[in-house]
Structure 1
Amino acid sequence: MSTVLVVNAGSSSIKYQLLDPDTREVSAKGLLERIGQAGGELTHRVGEETTTRRGEYDDHGEGLQAVLDVFEEVGPSLSEAGIVAVGHRVVQGGKAIDGPRLVDDALETEIDRLASLAPLHNPPNLAAIRVARELMPQVPHVAVFDTAFFHDLPDHSATYAIDAATAEQYAIRRYGFHGTSHKYVSAQVAERLGRDDLRTIVLHLGNGASASAVVGGVPVDTSMGMTPLEGLVMGTRSGDLDPAILFHLHRVAGLDVDALDTLLNKKSGLLGMCGSNDMRDVTKAADAGEADAALALAVYTYRLRRYVGAYAAAMGGLDAVAFTAGVGENSPRVRWDSLAGLEFLGIRLDEARNAAGDGVISADDSAVTVLVVPTDEELEIARQAAGFARPSGG
């Protein structure tokens, strides 16, 4: 078996998976949380067996070493796993990077340079890469970028209407994010429907949420912009809003840049509107008659509905809509409410199928096929990383 170790490093966490990209067999997976904080916890799963380790992990170096140690302690042994590559998720690849890249010192420098565009994401991504290269120098390390799928967005979609010289100097454009998920899910839709000319909307709805418009496998628009803040309502992020709100809050409320950043990224979205960023709690509260939760749910699904309509117009029609990620895969209420009233586009959900939430959930006479497609970003990263595997004996 030829396996790939996928590493997804967040600001205080490392998510990982050991899998075969050809058979999709997952040998092990896990999550290390609270790096640099008290009460760190590592959860490692092999089949039905779960191993938990608790300790203090000062940085990503110690964290990744702990991950490698647990593989050797409880298995499967990485030295015997036939690893052909290590795939690393990197959020921001900038304007130049249009696909996966073999990691070398020059690429590390570029990821570091791009940190100003993704200050919460690229630094921990890079930290994990550097440690992994040091601890596992015998295999290729491959960076897979969230932004790469959207690299070739049409200029009219990627360009913001601000002073062109300023935009060029400071690399201001629409980059898009969750690209690995949008790539994987749109390809799955095409495979399931047996067509390569589809006009598809992918709705990646987790704590972070994004939409994409994909024509024949090529993205033509996406909701996240220069940063992951733009677009849909999210768990703690505001999504679209009038930028003058920031000027107003600065002048009237005295909020500085850091306070505004915290407000829009960490204290807005569902959390800001009703006190919870968990859609299960929001839906339950809305059903119980809590007005703020009902409004939050309505705002959330209205924004989705608006993007579906806009993207159908942008693509000149619509063949498929795919829901994915935590909320998209598990909330029949969100799926139903976000597509309600769009019958004029040819969308008709089947109530029973939507409640079951598996595969096609549209009615037989729906002109647009609506699906629930579980995303698998780790598999997509593993597939892209495996393309850089050294030949046997190399």
Structure 2
Amino acid sequence: MKQVLVLNSGSSSIKYQLLDMDDRKRLAVGIVERIGESAGSVADHAAGMRVVLDELQEALDRSNLAAVGHRVVHGGDRFRGPTLIDDEVCDTIRDLIPLAPLHNPTNLTLIEAARSAFPDTPQVAVFDTAFHQTLPAPAYTYAVPKEWREDLGVRRYGFHGTSHQYVSRRAAELLGRRPEEVNMIVLHLGNGASVCAVREGKSVDTSMGLTPLEGLIMGTRSGDLDPAVPAYIARQTGRGAEEIDATLNKESGLLALAGSNDLRDIDAAATKGDEAARLALDAYCYRIRKYIGAYLAALGRVDAVVFTAGVGENSATVRAGAVAGLEKLGIAVSPKRNGQESKEARYISPYWAETAVLVVPTDEEIEIADQALEVLGRAG
């Protein structure tokens, strides 16, 4: 039995899964939360790793542990794929902390703790940004001063790359075609949300930018807005850059519009006539629809529109709203198919639609484990 341990560290949490890659099944799943938040909680991610090890005592077989796979949020333009971790890789992740100050430090702490816990087991970093390193220059370049771009790394990087990569490949399988034969628009809709234009298996544009703030309206993030808004708020209120940035990331989006960042609550409230909830839902779907149109233009030909992640997989309301009015472009959902609940990858478009509309459940952990084994195969 070949095992892979997948570790996914957030700013105050560690999600983990232990996978049997021979049978592709989960042996253990868990989360360590509230790391470093209060007295009595887990002090830091190194201590969190010790909690993970305690919880894995029964399921983990060290003699059959092939790899530890780490989700790392930001690889900048340094990493274009999964990478075997060594001291130099750790130093580079550290160099990239200014691009992801909340996540890369905790990613790095967990990597170091895992290397100490499993000194003889290969460790592999899988970067959220790597799939988007195929973006062409016109798609990733911002029209800002040269020194910002060259000295400070200001450009579009994109995120959710592991999910977009997995889902685009699975969607091609559902279509009965190879990824290299298919153009598609993948909608990763969760509390964080992003769109990816995939041409022939490669990312060519994506809605998130230098940070995950750009793009769609999200649970607590504003998404696209006039870049002058923060300066205007600073002048009017005296608030500093850090405070405004925190507001746009943690107190905006659906939460600001409807008082909740849970689409289920918002949908229920809108159905009962709550005007704020209705506006939030309509604005959320409108922004998605705009991106579908933009990426249809960018790709020229779209074989499928694919919904994934928590909202994309479970909200029939959002799926219908996101493609409403696109029937003349060959994009539509069947009310019957769309309304059926299922955990399986499936079509939800009507038979006459020129473009397939699919729901494909994401599985970032399996993708990380697969990529970790792929790296070991190349290294061997």
Sort the TM-score into its range (normalised by shorter chain): over 0.9
SS at match of 1:166: helix
Q: 2:50 aligns with which of 65, 70, 78?
A: 65
Aligned partner of 2:155 among 156, 173, 181: 173
What does residue 77 of structure 1 align with?
60
Q: 2:364 aligns with which of 361, 369, 377?
A: 377
Query: Which residue in 2 is equivalent to 1:342?
Result: 326
1:302 aligns with 2:286: yes
Q: Is the 8 A contact 1:205 1:324 kept in 2?
A: yes
TM-score, length-normalised on structure 1?
Answer: 0.93
Partner of 2:188: 204
Residue 345 of structure 1 and its aligned partner are, at CA, apart by 1.2
Report the secondary structure of 2:56's partner residue. helix
Give the residue type in structure 1 aligned to 2:17: Q
Instruction: Identify the residue that residue 314 of structure 2 maps to in structure 1.
Output: 330
CA deviation profile, 1:368-391 (whole Å, cap 9, x unmatched): 101110000000000011124489
Shift of the 317–143 alpha-carbon distance from structure 1 to 2, 3 Å rule, reads same
Q: Give 1:10's aligned residue.
A: 10
Tell me if structure 2 keeps the 8 A contact 1:90–1:143: yes
Deviation per CA, 1:354-377: give whole Å up to 9, x if none.
011441000011101011100000
Aligned to 1:52: none
Amino acid at match of 1:383: D
In structure 2, how many angstroms separate the alpha carbons of the residues matched to 1:110 and 1:363? 48
- Unmatched 5+ stretches in structure 2: none
Q: Separation in 1 of the partners of 2:15 and 2:147?
A: 39
The corresponding residue for 2:373 is 386
How far apart in 2 are the matches of 1:22 and 1:322?
28
Aligned residue identity for 1:68: L
Q: For the Cα contact (< 8 Å) 2:4–2:66, is it kept in 1?
A: yes
Using the alignment, how far apart are the partners of 1:78 and 1:164 within structure 2? Answer: 52
Q: Using the alignment, how far apart are the partners of 2:281 and 2:55 within structure 1?
A: 41
CA–CA distance in 2 between the matches of 1:95 and 1:182? 18
Q: Is the 8 A contact 2:82 2:375 kept in 1?
A: no
Aligned equivalents of 2:79 and 2:60: distance in 1? Answer: 34
The answer for the alignment partner of 1:114 in structure 2 is 96
Partners of 1:269 and 1:165 in 2: CA distance: 31
Unaligned runs of 5+ in 1: 40-54
What is the identity, as a one-letter code, of the residue corresponding to 1:364? Y
Aligned length: 375
Cα deviation 1:291-314 (Å, max 9, x = unaligned): 111001011000000000010010
C-alpha deviation, 1:318, in angstroms: 1.4
Q: Deviations over 1:169-220 (max 9, x none)?
A: 1100100000000000000011111223211000000000000000110111
Q: Among 261, 282, 286, which residue is 2:270 paired with?
A: 286
Which residue of 287, 302, 317 maps to 1:318? 302
Alignment of structure 1 residues 103-252 onto 2, 5 Å: 103-196=85-178, 197-252=181-236
CA contact (8 A) 2:316 2:338 kept: yes
Preserved contact between residue 263 and residue 311 of structure 2 (Cα < 8 Å): yes
- Per the TM alignment, residue 69 of structure 1 is displaced from its structure 2 partner at its CA by 1.2
Q: Work out the percentage of aligned pairs sharing the same amino acid.
A: 54
Q: Which residue of 2 is the match for residue 259 of structure 1?
A: 243
Q: CA deviation at 1:131?
A: 0.3
In structure 2, the residue matched to 1:44 is none
Deviation at 1:6, TM superposition (A): 0.2
1:33 is aligned with what amino acid? E
Superposition RMSD in Å:
1.5
Measured in 1, the distance between the counterparts of 2:170 and 2:60 equals 32
Q: Distance in 1 between matches of 2:147 and 2:300?
A: 32
Q: Is the CA contact (8 Å cut-off) linking 2:70 and 2:123 kept in structure 1?
A: yes
What's the offset of the Cα at 1:162?
A: 1.1
2-structure distance, mates of 1:385, 1:313: 35
